[in-house]
Amino acid sequence: MSSETKQHLNTQVLVGFTDQRGTAWHYKKDEQGDEPNHYTQAIPVEDVLRRLFAWHAIELPMFVHTSQGEVEVPNRKAIVRDDTFNVLGVPSKTYLPHQYDEWLLTKVGNLIDDDLSIGSAGLLKGGAVAWVQIEMPENMKVAGVEFRPHLLATTSFNGEIATLYKRCSTIVVCDNTRNSALRETSDELRVKHTSQSMLRLNDARQALNIVHQLGDDFAAEIEQLMAMNVSDRVFDRFLNVLVPSDSENSKQLQTRADSTRSTLRSMWQTDIRCAPFRNTGFGVVQTVNTWRQHVKPTRMGRSMMERTMMDTLTGITEVADREVVEMLVGVS
């Protein structure tokens, strides 16, 4: 079973600006209890504090049971929630937890301009991973594509990701979330979990200012991809590279590859999230990204929401989008 249930996604993930981009795919009213997790406009900071970050992580020593009694584990400690005492991680003793309310709200809140607000926030893996998305309140539009620049602030207590502030963009033709960095890198600020860690205010302010400037940069990327002509024949060649069919593979693997290519081709032609951009480079990126986030089967019982958010937080989505563009250029 996935660690993220439908109830978790509808109570521990908050989604804002639904008037502009609709509800998230996991929206289920009867799983939300007495309080909905979707907001028509920005999510109030007070709600994020109350609903997600009302607890803190504390550090406790670790012990193992031996025939001579309990022995403390050297160079390790447990990071646990102070409300449930669930273990979130077992890092080295030099690891410094970055409390969510301080690093994802207070420190960022001191730097935010008036026209920036919270678009989404959430917890994953029992609270071991968290994020807050700060974004512009209004959509921008170029070449028929709507998007919204934002800054993703995220950290963890299990050592999976450092505290990270990264510029991204939300595509709002559906509830897809994808990184803006179709180029090789995008600007970010990382803070390690050490005793010397601190939020460098000047660097952070510069990163936040980039959110304002991101619109022009991302618009140029979209225009470039929209101007790339991709015929159906070229798209088929692209699919053969993306999902190759090797005659040496088993019949089952070949059948699976054929089915995946057929699904992607159908989405390219008819899916409302992809078809409006058919025969363009942007349409190729949008089709593969939509398939990866909403159709591609998950492994080991993970939910699609968990996979999507972790791929975004760890940069996997960014790399995958860039690889799609490189493959497309190679067959064009």
186 band by pLDDT with thresholds 50, 70 and 90: low
Strand-pair partners of 141: 146
229-267 as b/e: b if 16+ CB within 10 A: ebeeebbebbbeebbeeeeeeeeeeeeebeebbebbeeb
Considering only 129-138, 197-206, 244-253, which range has the smallest mean pLDDT? 197-206
Please tell me the pTM assigned to this model: 0.73
Cβ distance 17 to 137 under 8 Å? Answer: yes
Structure tokens at 136: 């512009």
* pLDDT greater than 80 at residue 173: no
Tally of CA atoms within 13 A in the half-sphere of 286 that contains its CB? 29
The 10s digit of each residue's pLDDT in 37-61 is 999 999 999 999 999 999 999 999 9
User: Can you tell me the distance from the alpha carbon of 51 to that of 57, in angstroms, rounded to the nearest whole number?
Assistant: 16
Residues 171 and 144: their CA atoms lie apart, in Å, by: 12
pLDDT for position 260: 93
Residue with tokens 């607000």: 117
Buried b (16+ CB within 10 A) or exposed e, 159-184: eebebbbbbbbbbbbbbbbbbbbbee
Q: For the CA atoms of 274, 253, 307, 159, what is the dihedral angle to 10 degrees? A: -140
- Mean of all residue pLDDT scores within the chain: 82
